[in-house]
């Protein structure tokens, strides 16, 4: 019965994702460069401090890119590894622990594997110990041709935990442009990692009243990561790959700074439960297409699970036969985004679970008025939330994908 429920769910979701519109296959054969930025949150995009932009390079890039202003991280305890797993496999992370550590030997339909089967050279890049989050084993299982870890980089810019993002991008570009195109490259940054204590020599932002607080240091780190992103774009242009590469940049998770007073001071307004929940769960997503088309602000609800099916859509590879749970950002239809905590939004409603996980004790908001709704409005969609999380957990923990695929093949014969 559980398997039949899962099979049926994936069949329906696959149909909903498939849409043969203008963007399907519009960038077939392009390189794809994905950057997952450490602790990169959405609340300071486009914002200034003392008249200076926090993320000037990202803001500039937005003018010729698709910027998703309601993109959610869907991570759990596995933090950076969860963001990676959910984005690449379009499944939810686990309620406890990290899939990378607990089930690296189970089967998933991952973006590097699928692109590898479609003629792409695939590489993961992260200038830290290869064993952290069990990446070395997981990346092999995910089908990457290469994993460039700390040992492959020259430590010519030491910052925080490891190599600075500027040098990391410069050296990563050097590695990937030696490959035969098309390539799929996944870069994970690190310089904006907690506790955000960059040396004075690279601090470029005057954070005023936040100076020497963790919140101020966070803004400084993001300002540095943004400068590195600007250099990456310049490097891509210099190396002649800007016009044939899809650039997909997103944040992995929140910054662990939970004091509401910091955000209220920074944003200059008082914040309610809904505001704070969105601040802590939204990360930016920017997609730059090779021809610079379709730029603008997209405010539909979206999340990390949407990355794999959406990139496959742009490349003209249908995703309906894959066991993926995310939406296609480029298809029409309702978008439903489920967070690991059991929170959800469909762009109209927003449910925040209570710590005791009793439905009635949670909050059901109307996003247009930003006021609390009758809780009952969230009851039915919450059943779908539970169903999705359960299907995802079963798939991961009992290694269900090969079995479902086998049964499907038998039925199709
Ligand atoms: C380390 C980095 C940090 O390799 O990815 O992971 P996090 O602590 O943010 O989960």
What is each CA distance from 319 to 82, 110, 252, 289, in whole angstroms? 21, 11, 23, 20
Amino acid 334: pLDDT: 77
Please give the distance, rounded to the nearest whole angstrom, from the Cα atom of residue 294 to the centre of ligand 1.
33
Position in ligand 1 atom list of the atom nearest CA 78 = 10
pTM: 0.97
- CA 137 to CA 130: how far, in whole Å? 9
pLDDT tens track for 116-151? 999 999 999 999 999 999 999 999 999 999 999 999
pLDDT tens track for 172-227? 999 999 999 999 999 999 999 999 999 999 999 999 999 999 999 999 999 999 99
**Among candidate residues 123, 219, 233, the one with its CA nearest the CA of residue 169:** 233
pLDDT > 90? residue 404: yes
75 is in an annotated binding site: no
- CA 288 to CA 32: how far, in whole Å? 10
Please give the distance, rounded to the nearest whole angstrom, from the Cα atom of residue 192 to the centre of ligand 1.
10
The answer to whether the Cα torsion of 376, 382, 384, 386 is positive or negative is negative
The ipTM (two decimal places) reads 0.97
Q: Supply the residues annotated as catalytic.
A: 80
Q: CA torsion 263→268→270→272, rounded to 10°?
A: -50
Nearest CA to ligand 1 atom 7: 80
Residue to substitute in 76, 127, 150, 190 for testing ligand 1 pocket (most ligand atoms within 8 angstroms of CB): 190
**Among candidate residues 30, 27, 32, the one with its CA nearest the CA of residue 186:** 32
In residues, how long is the chain? 413
Nearest CA to ligand 1 atom 5: 80
User: In the beta sheet, which residues pair with residue 71?
Assistant: 302
Give residue ranges with CB within 6 A of ligand 1: 79-80, 126, 128, 132, 188, 190, 193
């Amino acid at each position: 019965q559980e398997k039949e429920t899962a099979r049926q769910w994936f069949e329906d979701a696959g149909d909903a994702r498939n849409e043969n519109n203008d963007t399907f296959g519009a960038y077939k054969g392009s390189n794809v460069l994905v950057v997952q930025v450490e602790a990169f949150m959405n609340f300071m995009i486009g914002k200034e401090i003392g008249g200076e932009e926090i993320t000037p390079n990202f803001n500039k890039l937005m003018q010729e890119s698709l910027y998703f202003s309601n993109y959610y991280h869907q991570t759990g305890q596995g933090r950076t590894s969860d963001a990676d797993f959910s984005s690449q496999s379009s499944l939810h992370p686990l309620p406890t622990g990290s899939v990378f550590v607990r089930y690296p030997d189970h089967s998933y339909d991952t973006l590097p594997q699928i692109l590898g089967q479609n003629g792409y050279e695939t590489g993961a890049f992260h200038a830290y110990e290869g064993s952290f989050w069990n990446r070395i084993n997981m990346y092999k299982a995910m089908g990457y041709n290469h994993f460039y870890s700390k040992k492959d980089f020259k430590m010519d810019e030491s910052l925080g935990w490891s190599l600075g993002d500027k040098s990391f991008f410069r050296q990563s570009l050097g590695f990937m442009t030696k490959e035969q195109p098309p390539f799929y490259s996944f870069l994970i940054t690190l310089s904006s990692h907690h506790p955000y204590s960059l040396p004075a020599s690279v601090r470029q932002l005057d954070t005023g009243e936040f100076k020497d607080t963790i919140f101020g240091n966070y803004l400084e780190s993001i300002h540095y990561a943004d400068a590195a992103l600007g250099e990456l774009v310049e490097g891509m242009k210099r190396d002649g790959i800007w016009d044939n590469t899809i650039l997909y940049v997103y944040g992995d998770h929140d910054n662990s700074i939970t004091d509401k007073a910091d955000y209220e001071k920074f944003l200059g307004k008082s914040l309610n439960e809904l505001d704070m929940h969105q601040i802590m769960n939204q990360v930016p997503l920017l997609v730059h297409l090779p021809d610079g088309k379709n730029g603008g602000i997209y405010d539909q609800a979206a999340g990390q699970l949407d990355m794999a099916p959406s990139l496959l859509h742009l490349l003209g590879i249908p995703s309906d036969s894959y066991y993926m749970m995310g939406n296609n950002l480029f298809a029409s239809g309702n978008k439903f985004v489920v967070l690991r905590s059991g929170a959800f939004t469909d762009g109209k409603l927003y449910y925040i679970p209570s710590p005791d996980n009793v439905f009635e004790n949670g909050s059901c908001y109307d996003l247009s008025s930003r006021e609390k709704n009758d809780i009952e409005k969230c009851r039915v969609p919450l059943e779908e939330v539970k169903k999705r999380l359960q299907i995802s957990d079963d798939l991961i923990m009992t290694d269900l994908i090969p079995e479902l695929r086998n049964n499907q093949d038998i039925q199709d014969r």
